[in-house]
Chains A and B, each alone.
Chain A
Amino acid sequence: MEDMIFYDRLQFAFTITFHYIFPQLTMGLSLLIVYFKWKYLRNNDEKYNNAAKFFMKIFAVNFTMGVVTGIPMEFQFGTNWAKFSELTGGIIGQTLAMEGMFSFFLESSFLALFIFGEKLMGQKLHFLTGFLVFLGSWASGWFILATNAWMQHPVGYEILENGKFVLENFSALFSNPWLLPAFLHNQLASVVTSSFVVASIGAFYILRKKQVEYGQLFLKTGVIFGLVSSLLVAFPTGDWNAKNVAKFQPGAFAAMEGIFETEHAGAEIVLIGQPNMVEKKLDNKIAVPNILSFLTYQDWDKKIPGMDQFKKEELPDNIPALYYSYHIMVGLGTIFIGVMMLALFFLWRRKLYTLKPLLWVIMFLVPFPYIANLTGWYVAELGRQPYLVYGLLKTSDGISPTVSSGNTLFTLLGFVALYMLLGLLFLVLVGKTINEGPKHQKH
């Protein structure tokens, strides 16, 4: 039983980590593509249209990867988490089925048109299809996060005698207080990723001294979008989410922040430190007093319960992993804001395009927004443990009763091998597209 849960969780964590690399780019990139296309309609400068088409190619490769790695996510609810599906399908099936019917259809129907149909329909309609792709990808995020929000903070349900969750109030699923902050935070974080990708490709072109005209356009656009989105990710949406966790999952909040013992005169904010689970304290701690109380409740002296106040099952089962994920996410987010502010400053002084050290930094920073996004997702998921549905359904009660750990291990190994191949092919293909660069075309 123990190793069944372990392999099921490992498989889900592995497949969703790999999957989430792709939609986080496409959701943000669709916004930038719409922006380029819109600029083209306004100023009729072919450069913007070629930029939109260039990023559409990268979008398409990512979309394909997102689809082929996304189908297993849906299937795994049934294959590996059958008990969970049976008990909650009547509720989260609603949001997942809506995702399929409303957003996925929208996105994929109009993606094909956007890629192949420019000549068939004229510029305004082409812009519209791009906009619908954007709408579809953001709606997808909305429905997926509605599903997750219900697991984090269940609403609108009733539990029958046989343990089944049944829907009692449909609209509650979408007015869940967890949903809007999580959605905005997540979408803006995906804009951060795509802005960094755009800026990084721009920096690469400038440093390589090829496609310099496009390099400058990409860098400028990436930096502006990157700064605005990084700021919005931290405040107000990040802050809003943290307050939600403190309110609805106080045990997870204490673990995230690394507060082992309750301090009655206001909680400090931990900047650095390693959780020591044996002695129940942080090693090598650097902390600033009273800040956490202020950030969470706007009150310097407000008490925040530490992990000593909770029973074992009210605390996440992997506290160090949660603590590190959270601190990596916050730390990286702070670095992003710093780098993008610096870049914007030099852009304003018209020195950015020749400032090689900063261009190198921007170019190589590209994996880090991915890491920040993924660790953000881990914070949400690890914080909810040991529950699948917070406080109501234990993770260990959600797995498939008939599937043995040997079978799960076999499929896990298969996914690892297949996804390594996929990842390699993906890098080759995107590398090739970036190396070729945008095409100078006129119609």
Chain B
Amino acid sequence: MEIFWYILIAIVLAVFFILDGYDFGTGIIHLFFAKKEKDKEVIAKAAGLFWDSNEVWLVAAGGMLFMAFPTFYASVFSGFYLPLIIVLWLIIFRAIGLEFRSQFKYQMWKDIWDASFGVSSLLLALFFGIALGNIVRGVNLGGVENGISVYEGHYFFLPLWDSSFSPLSETPGVIDWFTIIIGLISVVTLSIHGANWVILKTNSSINNKLKGVIFKLNIVLALLTIFSLVVWQIVNPNSFDNFADKPYLIVFPIIYLSGLVGLFFIKRIKKEVYGFVLSTLLIVGGITSSLASIFPVILPSINDVHKPLTIYNTAASEYGLSVSFTWGIIGCILIIVYMIIQKRLTKGKIDKMDYGH
């Protein structure tokens, strides 16, 4: 049961990052590459049409986490208090940027909301990467200071940064040089993903240029990935053990790798949807590989006093999980049906669709 909910939540989160991920990426592309008003408008539209139905996946993931792993939910949400609230603010800024830019014709008004949309998308992508970095690095559970626990075993609190910026310090902050590397990987990945989405969904005049941008970003991503694998070993020396013990887990890094390799051929790819599929592989592979490297742990502990949080020691009761298993399956089927109906009716380029409520 724990494993069912763990996988389901991982899927929902991955779908969130695939769907809302292109919104983040579109925002970054919008910030750096859209110069002409026509392009700006069409790119904002490519994200604006769908962001609120994409956001549902985040809400659903949050709800499921709360239900299935309440101890993990309580621990992580209060431990990462400040970054999470900042993420909430950024989500709000991005949403109002998208919703309000087309409401008035003044250039200054549009510029303000374009900036709000672009900058908050960039920061969100960075923060989500940093969050993943924190989860694989582990935290000081129980707030252990000099071998003495300050809080209950599964509670902790991280400041935004520690003055040393080192992941190896006894009390690392949310932001350190390791998590920033993971954050940058996330920014580059989602930028590629967003660019593919723009190419797929619009007839923007910069679409050809974007293929070149993706190619260059992909080189950066490959270098960052190799570099991160090296430092990953320093930060969490056991991180490859899982792959050695259970060789079938290798499938997840392979998914990532195939996306990475495939994107080097982006300029020659004729069918636009393949680009989008490849960056989807990057996201799915990246998230699943990270989670697989620590499974069944979901939050490693960097001190010796408290045990890491696993899907077993944070789960709700057996009865609760088995009841929710039943309605969870029904819910999944319904959601898939909704998605199919929705995607069938909104397929194709969005240039001709009505937008602006």
Residue of B nearest to A56 (CB): B357
Interface residues of A in 103-123 (CB under 8 A from B): 104-106, 108-113, 115-117, 120-121
Q: Are A401 and B151 in contact (CB under 8 A)?
A: yes
Q: Are A97 and B99 in contact (CB under 8 A)?
A: no
Check A418 for interface membership: any CB of B closer than 8 A.
yes
Q: Are B156 and A166 in contact (CB under 8 A)?
A: no
Known contacts A60-B357, A101-B328, A425-B96: A94-B320 contact under CB 8 Å? yes
Check B88 for interface membership: any CB of A closer than 8 A.
yes
Residues of A within 8 A of B74 (CB): 78, 82-83, 85-86, 89, 400
Residues of B within 8 A of A418 (CB): 89, 92-93
Q: Are B78 and A167 in contact (CB under 8 A)?
A: no
Interface residues of A in 403-443 (CB under 8 A from B): 403, 407, 410-411, 414, 418, 422, 425, 429, 432-433
Q: Are B319 and A402 in contact (CB under 8 A)?
A: no
Q: Are B62 and A74 in contact (CB under 8 A)?
A: yes
Report the separation of the CA atoms of residues A197 and B354 in the bound assembly, to the nearest whole angstrom: 26
Q: Interface stretch among A25-33, A62-70, A187-195, A343-351? A: A62-70
Report the separation of the CA atoms of residues A170 and B50 in the bound assembly, to the nearest whole angstrom: 35
Residues of B within 8 A of A68 (CB): 91-92, 95-96
Task: Tell me the interface secondary structure of chain A in the complex.
Answer: helix
Which of B55, B63, B316 is the most central at the interface, judged by chain A CB atoms within 10 Å of its CB? Answer: B63
Chain A nearest CB from B99 CB (Å) reads 6
Report the separation of the CA atoms of residues A111 and B71 in the bound assembly, to the nearest whole angstrom: 34
Q: Are B70 and A403 in contact (CB under 8 A)?
A: no
Residues of A within 8 A of B316 (CB): 89-90, 93, 166-167
Check A168 for interface membership: any CB of B closer than 8 A.
yes
Contact residues on A (Cβ < 8 Å of other chain), bracket: 35 or more
Q: Are B357 and A79 in contact (CB under 8 A)?
A: no
Q: Are B64 and A121 in contact (CB under 8 A)?
A: no
Interface residues of A in 36-60 (CB under 8 A from B): 57, 60
Residue B99 contacts which of A64, A74, A100 (CB distance < 8 angstroms)? A64
Q: Are B342 and A90 in contact (CB under 8 A)?
A: no
Residues of A within 8 A of B58 (CB): 71
Q: Are A71 and B88 in contact (CB under 8 A)?
A: yes
Q: Are B85 and A78 in contact (CB under 8 A)?
A: no
Known contacts A75-B84, A89-B316: A97-B78 contact under CB 8 Å? no
Known contacts A89-B316, A93-B63, A402-B155: A113-B56 contact under CB 8 Å? no
Check B334 for interface membership: any CB of A closer than 8 A.
yes
Report the separation of the CA atoms of residues A91 and B324 in the bound assembly, to the nearest whole angstrom: 11
Residue of A nearest to B350 (CB): A116
Q: Are B331 and A96 in contact (CB under 8 A)?
A: no
Check B77 for interface membership: any CB of A closer than 8 A.
yes
Q: Are A109 and B357 in contact (CB under 8 A)?
A: no
Report the separation of the CA atoms of residues A422 and B324 in the bound assembly, to the nearest whole angstrom: 36
Residue B338 contacts which of A96, A98, A110 (CB distance < 8 angstroms)? A110
A-B contact pairs, 14 of them (CB 8 A): A71-B91, A79-B77, A93-B63, A94-B67, A94-B324, A101-B60, A101-B63, A105-B331, A105-B335, A111-B52, A166-B317, A400-B81, A418-B89, A425-B96
